[in-house]
Amino acid sequence: MTLAKFDRSAAVADQVIAAIKPDRLDDPTPCTEWTVRQLLNHLVSGNLVFVAMVDGGPRPDRSQDHLGGDPLAAFRDTLRRLRAEFAADGALDRTFPTPFGPGPGSLLVHMRVNEMLIHSWDLAKATGQSTDLDPELAEECLASFRSGRPIPRGGESPFGPERPAPETATAADRLAAYMGRDCSWRS
């Protein structure tokens, strides 16, 4: 997983977040436990968690609001910080604690690419935006999930059972359906 893919995923997320109107922040999302604002906070605090994984600093309290009055600025700030950590000399090859045990920095990059792209779909869907998000990157993420270890589904997992995607589904729709999202969901 290259930083180029990280940059592409970040650009998708930035574009979707930039198009969210303030009056949509309390809207529901396909992530049924979160509103748009809560999902944005999840992305921002996730960036901060990954910064802490790489720099060894304290992890943020994910239950706190990390958005302030400007969710887009908060996202961009944390993204810039995370990008700098990933771009540091040798960071992609060094071993870090990950949710799956010790792993290379490249695994952390891979995880952020996937999460940003999937949650960009959630945010786009929740706010009435197009879900045709970087088709090539979405296909690559989907292929990676399908070829990797099985993902836990149901229970405490954030992933539900794979769902059907309509014939006209975009690549990002198919990725979302694979992750358990309902492509026909409407806010």
**Domains assigned to the chain:** 3-178 (1.20.120.450)
Task: State residue 138's pLDDT score.
Answer: 97
Lowest mean pLDDT among 1-5, 64-68, 129-133: 1-5
Tokens read off for 126: 């929740």
pLDDT of 187 over the 90 cut: no
Q: What is the mean pLDDT of residues 112-128?
A: 96
**Could you tell me the pLDDT band of residue 145, with boundaries at 50, 70 and 90?**
confident
Q: What is the mean pLDDT of residues 63-79?
A: 97
3-state SS of the chain is: CCHHHHHHHHHHHHHHHHCCCHHHCCCECCCCCCEHHHHHHHHHHHHHHHHHHHHCCCCCCCCCCCCCCCHHHHHHHHHHHHHHHHHCCCCCCCEEEEECEEEEHHHHHHHHHHHHHHHHHHHHHHCCCCCCCCHHHHHHHHHHHHHCCCCCCCCCCCCCCCCCCCCCCCHHHHHHHHCCCCCCCCC
pLDDT of 1 over the 60 cut: no
Q: How far is CA 25 from CA 32, 35, 37, 115, 129, in A?
A: 14, 7, 5, 19, 14
Percent of the chain with pLDDT over 90: 76
